[in-house]
C-alpha cells in the first residue's frame, strides 16, 4: 500500500514477553503518532489516517492487538513499544477500544503524551462499582454477553468471519442490546451490499486475519472490565491533563449504549478532561474509515498546534504520628489491607500494588483530601513510591524509609531471583509454605524474629526455612516494650500472616501490571531515609543503588539521609526520624496540602 507518505512498513517488536505486530508509515525522524484501533479491527482501520499523517511528515505507527488484556497490559505494551523505538513523547490517536487505551495512556503516563485524539469513546471516569454489577440484568447488552468465556465465540461460529465483521461494521441501531434470549450476533444485520467506506478486498483482509487469530483475544478485553475497575482504583476521580480532542459521529452507537451524548453535553466530560475540544461529524461508529477525509483534517489541524514541540503503609507510626500531630499536622496511619483491623481478602490477586495504592486513594477521597504528604516504611514505602508514580497530583512530598524506589526491571522478581530458594521472598511465593513454618512458633516469637534482624542477607542456608534461620532476641527489643510487642501479636494472632505474605506473592503480577511505567521517573519531591545496618543494604543492593546515583536518576528531586540503625528505623530511632520528617515537610507547609 503506497502513498505520498511512502510504503507501509511491517515489523514485529518483542515487548513485555509478547510479539507485537506494527505497521508504520512516514519518515522515521518525523514527529511520531501512535494509532490504537478498536473492536473488531486491526491496524488496517488506520490506513487512511496513516497515509495522511505520513504525507504531512508525521511518523504513523499502528500496533496490532496485544496478548494480555487488562488496560494495564494494553498501555504497558504501548509504553514498551515507544521505549523500544526510543520515542519519549508522542501524539496518540485511538478509536473504540484504542480510545480507551489512549485515555489511560494519558492517565498513567501523561509525561509520554504530547496530545491525544480519541474517536468514538470518551474518557469515562472510574465508577463506583464494576461494570458487570452496574449492568446487572442487561443480559442482551453485547458487553454482558461477551463476559462468559466461549459464549460469543460459539455464537460467532454460526457465521463466516467476513459476515461477523460486516454485522459489526454495519451497525446503525441506537442501542447494542439484543432481545431476551437472542445472541447479539444473531440480532445484528449485515448489509447485503458492500459497505460504502470499505471495499470487499479490504473486508477480505480483515477476515483473513481474524480467521487466523479468532475473536477470543479481542473479546477478552471486555472480560477484563471488572478486573480493570479493581486495578484502576488509584485513579479514582483523576483527571486527564493532556491536551485532548474527542471526535464522534452523530449516529454513533455509543451515544445511547454508553451514554456518550449525555456525558459530553452535561459538562461532566469536560470536568475530567479540562483541556478538551469536542467535534461532532456526520456518521456512525467507524468514523475514521467512514469519514476519513474529515477525520484526517481534524487530527492534522489539531496536531499542527503542537508540531513545533519535540516528539522524538501502615507499619505502626506511633512516634511519628505524635510528632506530626504535635506540629499541627493531621497524621493518618491506616492498617494496609491484610493487616490488623483492616479487611484481608482471601484471594492473593487482591494484593497487587494497584490494589494497595487504590486503597490509599480511596481513603483520601473519603476524607476529601486532594493532596497530602506521604510517609512509608518497608512495603509501605513501596506503596508510597507507587502513589507518587500513579497519582503525583495527590502527593505534595514523600518520605520513604528503608526501601528506595526500585524502577521496573527487565524481568519479574521470581525470574530475577531464580535459584535463590533460601531468600525470604522466594520462600514466601508458595501458598501456605511460610504460614506452615511460622506456625511452629507463637506469633510474638515470629514477630520478634523479624524485628530482631541484624544479619546482612535475609537468605537461609539450603534446606532451611527463613523463620527457622532467624533468631529472636532473648531480651526485650531496645525500641519496643513487651506490651507493645503484645499489641502487635494480638492483631496478627487474629488476622494471620497470609494477607501480608500475599504482597510478596503478587510481585510478579505487579511487575506485569506496571508495564506502563517502564523507565518512568518520580517527579514528586522526595526524601529517602535508611539505616546504615538495614538488612536491605545487601539483600536488595540498596547501598549500591543509592551511592551509584541510580536512585537519583529515577527520583530527580531527592534527598538521602543515612541514620545509625537497622530496618525498623522509625521505631528504633524515633526522635531522629521524626526530626528528618518534620524538617522536610516544613518546606511544604506553606502550600495547600
pLDDT in tens, 105-117: 999 999 999 999 9
pLDDT band at 433 (very low <50, low <70, confident <90, very high): very high
Grid look-up 523500544 returns: 84
Task: With a cut of 80, say whether residue 589 has pLDDT above it.
Answer: no
Task: Convert the pLDDT of each residue in 219-229 to its tens digit.
Answer: 888 999 999 99
For the domain spanning 318-588, the CATH number is 3.40.50.1820
pLDDT given at position 313:
36
- Alpha-carbon Rg for the chain in angstroms: 26
Q: Given the residues 69, 206, 222, 424, select the one marked as catalytic.
A: 222
Superfamily of domain 9-124+236-306: Alpha/Beta hydrolase fold, catalytic domain (3.40.50.1820)
| 222 is a catalytic site residue | yes
Instruction: Name the nearest CA neighbour of 574 among 446, 496, 480, 483.
Output: 480
Domain boundaries, the chain: 9-124+236-306, 131-222, 318-588
pLDDT band at 75 (very low <50, low <70, confident <90, very high): very high
Distance of alpha carbon 64 from alpha carbon 97, whole angstroms: 12
pLDDT band at 308 (very low <50, low <70, confident <90, very high): very low
CA 149 to chain centre: 24
pLDDT given at position 173:
78
Q: Given the residues 65, 96, 252, 378, select the one marked as catalytic.
A: 96
pLDDT band at 65 (very low <50, low <70, confident <90, very high): low
Cell of residue 337, nine digits? 489491607
Cell of residue 309, nine digits? 514541540
Task: Convert the pLDDT of each residue in 169-198 to its tens digit.
Answer: 888 877 889 999 999 999 998 887 788 888
Mean pLDDT of the chain: 86
pLDDT band at 365 (very low <50, low <70, confident <90, very high): confident
Instruction: Name the nearest CA neighbour of 61 among 2, 103, 9, 115.
Output: 9
Arithmetic mean of pLDDT, 41-65: 77
Task: Convert the pLDDT of each residue in 127-171 to its tens digit.
Answer: 999 989 988 888 899 999 999 989 999 999 999 999 999 999 888
Task: With a cut of 70, say whether residue 309 has pLDDT above it.
Answer: no
Fold match between domain 9-124+236-306 and domain 318-588 = yes
pLDDT given at position 1:
46
Check residue 333 and give left, alpha or beta (phi > 0: left; psi -120 to 50: alpha). beta
Task: With a cut of 90, say whether residue 510 has pLDDT above it.
Answer: yes
Buried b / exposed e over 416-450, threshold 16 CB at 10 Å, is eeeeeebbbbbbbbeeeebeebbeebebbebbbbb
Distance of alpha carbon 260 from alpha carbon 284, whole angstroms: 13
pLDDT given at position 543:
82
pTM check: above 0.85: no
Q: Concatenate the DSSP letters of all residues of 230-258 into one string.
A: HHTGGGTT----S-EEEEEETT-THHHHS
| 104 is a catalytic site residue | no
Arithmetic mean of pLDDT, 556-562: 94
| 84 is a catalytic site residue | no
Arithmetic mean of pLDDT, 40-64: 77
pLDDT given at position 409:
92
Distance of alpha carbon 165 from alpha carbon 155, whole angstroms: 13
Q: Given the residues 37, 285, 355, 386, select the one marked as catalytic.
A: 285
Helices 443-451 + 482-495 axis angle, to 10:
120
Q: Please tell me the least confidently modeled range out of 16-30, 318-332, 400-414.
A: 318-332
| Angle at alpha carbon of residue 549, lines to 87 and 580, rounded to 5° | 120
Distance of alpha carbon 143 from alpha carbon 131, whole angstroms: 9
Distance of alpha carbon 568 from alpha carbon 557, whole angstroms: 25
Highest mean pLDDT among 12-21, 22-31, 268-277 belongs to 268-277
Amino acid at each position: 500500500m503506497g502513498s505520498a507518505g511512502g510504503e507501509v512498513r511491517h515489523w514485529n517488536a518483542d515487548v513485555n514477553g509478547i510479539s507485537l505486530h506494527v505497521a508504520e508509515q512516514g519518515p522515521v525522524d518525523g514527529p511520531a503518532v501512535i494509532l490504537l484501533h478498536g473492536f473488531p479491527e486491526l491496524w488496517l482501520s488506520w490506513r487512511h489516517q496513516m497515509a495522511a499523517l505520513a504525507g504531512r511528515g508525521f511518523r504513523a505507527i499502528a500496533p496490532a492487538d496485544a496478548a494480555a488484556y487488562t488496560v494495564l497490559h494494553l498501555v504497558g505494551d504501548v509504553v514498551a513499544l515507544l521505549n523500544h523505538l526510543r520515542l519519549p513523547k508522542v501524539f496518540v490517536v485511538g478509536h473504540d477500544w484504542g480510545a480507551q487505551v489512549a485515555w489511560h495512556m494519558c492517565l498513567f503516563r501523561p509525561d509520554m503524551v504530547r496530545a491525544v485524539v480519541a474517536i468514538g469513546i470518551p474518557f469515562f471516569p472510574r465508577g463506583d462499582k464494576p461494570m458487570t454489577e452496574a449492568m446487572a440484568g442487561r443480559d442482551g447488552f453485547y458487553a454482558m454477553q461477551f463476559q462468559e468465556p466461549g459464549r460469543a465465540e460459539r455464537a460467532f461460529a454460526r457465521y463466516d468471519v467476513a459476515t461477523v465483521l460486516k454485522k459489526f461494521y454495519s451497525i446503525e441501531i441506537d442501542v447494542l442490546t439484543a432481545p431476551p434470549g437472542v445472541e447479539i450476533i444473531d440480532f445484528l444485520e449485515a448489509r447485503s451490499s458492500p459497505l460504502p467506506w470499505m471495499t470487499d478486498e479490504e473486508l477480505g483482509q480483515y477476515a483473513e486475519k481474524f480467521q487466523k487469530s479468532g475473536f477470543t483475544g479481542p473479546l477478552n478485553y471486555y472480560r477484563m472490565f471488572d478486573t480493570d475497575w479493581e486495578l484502576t482504583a488509584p485513579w479514582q476521580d483523576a483527571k486527564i491533563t493532556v491536551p485532548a480532542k474527542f471526535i464522534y459521529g452523530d449516529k454513533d452507537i455509543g451515544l445511547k449504549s454508553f451514554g456518550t451524548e449525555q456525558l459530553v453535553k452535561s459538562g461532566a466530560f469536560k470536568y475530567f478532561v479540562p483541556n478538551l475540544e469536542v467535534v461532532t461529524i456526520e456518521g456512525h461508529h467507524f468514523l475514521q474509515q467512514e469519514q476519513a477525509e474529515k477525520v484526517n483534517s481534524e487530527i492534522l489541524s489539531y496536531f499542527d498546534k503542537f508540531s513545533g514541540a519535540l516528539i522524538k503503609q501502615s507499619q505502626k507510626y506511633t512516634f511519628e504520628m505524635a510528632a506530626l500531630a504535635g506540629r499541627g499536622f493531621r497524621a493518618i496511619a491506616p492498617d494496609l489491607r491484610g493487616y490488623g483491623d483492616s479487611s484481608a481478602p482471601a484471594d492473593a490477586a487482591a494484593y497487587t500494588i494497584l490494589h494497595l495504592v487504590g486503597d490509599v486513594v480511596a481513603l483520601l477521597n473519603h476524607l476529601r483530601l486532594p493532596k497530602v504528604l506521604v510517609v512509608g516504611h518497608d512495603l509501605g514505602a513501596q506503596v508510597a513510591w507507587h502513589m507518587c508514580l500513579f497519582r503525583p497530583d495527590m502527593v505534595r512530598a514523600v518520605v520513604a524509609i528503608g526501601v528506595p524506589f526500585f524502577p521496573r526491571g527487565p524481568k519479574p522478581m521470581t525470574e530475577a531471583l531464580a535459584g535463590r530458594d533460601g531468600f525470604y521472598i522466594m520462600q514466601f511465593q508458595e501458598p501456605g509454605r511460610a504460614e506452615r513454618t511460622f506456625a511452629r512458633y507463637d506469633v510474638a516469637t515470629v514477630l520478634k524474629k523479624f524485628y530482631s534482624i541484624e544479619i546482612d542477607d535475609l537468605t537461609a542456608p539450603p534446606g532451611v526455612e527463613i523463620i527457622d534461620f532467624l533468631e529472636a532476641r532473648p531480651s526485650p527489643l531496645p525500641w519496643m516494650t513487651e506490651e507493645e510487642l503484645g499489641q502487635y501479636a494480638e492483631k496478627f494472632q487474629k488476622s494471620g500472616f497470609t494477607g501480608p505474605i500475599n504482597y510478596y506473592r503478587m510481585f510478579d503480577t505487579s511487575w506485569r501490571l506496571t508495564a506502563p511505567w517502564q523507565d518512568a521517573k518520580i517527579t514528586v519531591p522526595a526524601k529517602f531515609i535508611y539505616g546504615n545496618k538495614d538488612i536491605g543494604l545487601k539483600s536488595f543492593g540498596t547501598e549500591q543503588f543509592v551511592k551509584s546515583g541510580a536512585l537519583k536518576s529515577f527520583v530527580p528531586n531527592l534527598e538521602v539521609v543515612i541514620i545509625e540503625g537497622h530496618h525498623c528505623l522509625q521505631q528504633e530511632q524515633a526522635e531522629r526520624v521524626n526530626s528528618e520528617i518534620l524538617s522536610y515537610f516544613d518546606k511544604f507547609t506553606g502550600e495547600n496540602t
